[in-house]
Amino acid sequence: MGFSEHLIMNLSGVYADEGLDKAIEGSRVIDLSALDGTNCFCDEESAARIRSSIADLPLEAVHWIDSGDYHYISRFWLERIDEPFALLLVDHHPDMHESAFGALSCGSWARDAFTSLEKFSQLLMVGINPDLELEFLDLMFDGVLAATKEDLGRNDSALSEDVREMLSLLEPRIPVYISIDKDALSPSYAATDWDQGNMSLRQLELLLGEVASKHRIIGVDICGELTREKGAEAAELELNLKTNLAIKAILESLLGA
């Protein structure tokens, strides 16, 4: 089914609160809500359970992976890729911390994946907080590239030359996996439980379009929800559902999702 398939990974219950599972006809819910040891950090037992739960599910699909606290789930999808690939990470945070005590976390998963997965060739980050660039300076000459939220420019209806220039450094014909954390977006478009960037939906659409026009997309995941437990009320849930469906529409236009 390719990108027409939407896999909703339920850890917090937020997608049911938003109504995303009902709004996307034919979506499949993978219920992981009974797992312990998953909030921000993922223990070995839960990691094994998650890997087992997705082992037979398609990589070439749209994966909805809950709040940013669970962004490390991207790591489990990336390790399934069996050819050289690049990751386009749209995020206000690089998620490139050194792993604490060796544990996989929402703040370390990108570094862990880039430094340990043999097929992971390039990492391009867009929309990050410039104050966090120190997290990955040691890897800047090893295939890690970044465009900060300041590099997006002031025209929120256009893709800046800085971003276009960075995208031009992608290896020709290399397939790309896309990971989107909605905290890269302006608060006008999303309510998250982390500090947010300034990207507009139009800029996100142009960014994805630029990459998809020149590279084969091998998978997509999306996170950045705000749960009731973290303070979401009806307005925040409605906003995030609206943006999720807008992203779905963008992917449909680009990938047939």
Distance CA 93, CA 129 (A): 6
pLDDT of residue 127: 98
Higher pLDDT, 171 or 97: 171
Strands in the chain per DSSP E: 6-10, 28-31, 41-42, 62-64, 85-90, 104-105, 120-128, 144-148, 176-181, 217-223
* Digit-coded pLDDT (tens) for 123-148: 999 999 999 998 998 998 899 999 99
pLDDT of residue 2: 64
Closest CA to 126 of 94, 174, 86, 97: 94
Q: Phi, psi (5° rounding) for residue 85?
A: -150, 165
* Digit-coded pLDDT (tens) for 183-215: 999 999 999 998 999 999 999 999 999 999 999
pLDDT of residue 167: 97
What is the number of other CB atoms lying within 10 angstroms of the CB of residue 238? 14
For the chain, give the mean pLDDT.
Answer: 95
Rounded to two decimals, the pTM is 0.96
Of the given ranges (77-81, 160-164, 221-225, 252-256), which has the lowest mean pLDDT? 252-256
Distance CA 143, CA 114 (A): 9
pLDDT of residue 32: 96
pLDDT of residue 257: 64
Distance CA 94, CA 109 (A): 10
Q: Inform me whether the pLDDT recorded for 1 exceeds 60.
A: no
The percentage of the chain sitting over the pLDDT mark of 90, rounded to a whole number, equals: 88
Distance CA 236, CA 189 (A): 10
Q: How many residues does the chain have?
A: 257
Q: Which domain holds residue 24?
A: 2-255
What's the distance, CA 133 to chain centroid?
A: 18
Q: Which amino acid is at 78?
A: L
* Digit-coded pLDDT (tens) for 16-25: 999 999 999 9
Total structural domains within the chain: 1
pLDDT of residue 68: 96
CATH number at residue 39: 3.40.800.10
